[in-house]
Structure 1
């Protein structure tokens, strides 16, 4: 064996991960675990803490003046961090505050919660996605890079899609902050207004309630059509 052969064998052997790479992997795993833990805590708190009835909240709001709507908005924003039904909360806001004030409270709180969940996902989970998924999500993220704003608007228009899951998932992807923010600002308006109308005007037969139900149905169909169109455009781009 010549002196050059050991060198060639050493160069052909797979390189061991550097200490910096191993440290980066451990940090990514630790942050992802922290995100899972936070989600578990949020979910447990939402499920275990007793929720007051609408009448109890109404009495509380009436006795606290301006602090009532502010407190409701803070609670709504906090609950968006846990996978609990937000549509029920929106209907409750319509019952408690009426359509106009309720829409302002819920819309502001929903945007605050959506922003917080996005950045939690981005700061704690994005590094792990990049390190451990590799090219497996590259195609999906390429669609987001091209159609991020339209994709966000499309999924937000479908009122039955889980609001919280979309928030965290967007943070885990390469989706930019501004397409996410603007798409959410626009996409949640019709559905939020429809659920507020159901609470404010009631479920009895009437123009307002019928219009709210009709809008929710149209939004669902529009969101599905948008998703199908984006998928088709992505398929043509890959050809």
Structure 2
């Protein structure tokens, strides 16, 4: 029941966040809103960076909402840089924290209800299969995966390349979705939808593997 409640709250939070962005865009217009964002200077991308970073290190709202928001407010290029940099630093920090301080600290960060998910990822020995590690990092579980791989004592030399590849493949479609929806970029939107479909397929394959290996 707790897991269902958390998923419901997370989903509603993501919907609310995107709804606020859409409402502001419809009210002020994307051009005017982006002009206001530009006037904020460094504070706008920094704020989105902090939100995305925090949602990974201390899992809260789904990071997808922040990726879409970054694309819609900052545009594809700048939004992608902010999201990718945030993901790289936050996942690297999560990996380092779990490897350096162990399960007790991770439990405090992710919460008692979700430490079991981290434990199960750590027991799957993802470091033995580079492509499986990369695929897991491309799913919505990537924050838990980073902690789990750290607990499994995976070497940096295997984790970092998988992290970089997963970020390079998974972030552009989602950021492009936000940029394409509100900038009326048809080609960008088509790319985003195709990419999102590919990510959904990967997520389904990973979840199937999780069920087959009794990871729930």
TM-score interval for Structure 1 and Structure 2 normalised by the shorter chain = 0.5 to 0.7
Q: Is the 8 A contact 2:94 2:147 kept in 1?
A: yes
Shift of 1:140: 4.5
In 1: Cα distance, 2:154 partner to 2:83 partner: 25
Question: 2-side partners of 1:81 and 1:60: how far apart?
Answer: 29
What RMSD in Å do the two structures reach over aligned CA positions? 3.8
Q: Find out whether 1:71 has 2:27 as its counterpart.
A: no
Aligned: 1:199 with 2:178: yes
Larger Cα-atom Rg: 1
**Runs of 5+ unmatched residues, structure 1:** 1-46, 129-135, 235-239
Count of residues in Structure 1 that have an aligned counterpart in Structure 2? 174
The Cα shift of 1:68 comes to 2.7
Gap regions ≥5 residues in structure 2? 1-12, 26-32, 106-118
Aligned twin of 1:165? 144
Q: Match of 2:197? A: 217
Offset at residue 63 of structure 1 (A): 3.6
Asked if the contact 1:156/1:223 (under 8 Å) is kept, the reply is: no
TM-score of the aligned structures, taking structure 2 as reference length: 0.64
State yes or no: 1:106 paired with 2:106.
no
Partner deviation per Cα, 1:61-116 (whole Å, 9 max, x = no partner): 43431333233323321222122200000000001100011101110011111111
Report the Cα offset of residue 192 of structure 1. 0.8
Distance 1:98 1:186 in 2: 22
Distance (Å, rounded) in 2 between the aligned partners of 1:210 and 1:180: 31
Question: Residue in 2 aligned with 1:133?
Answer: none
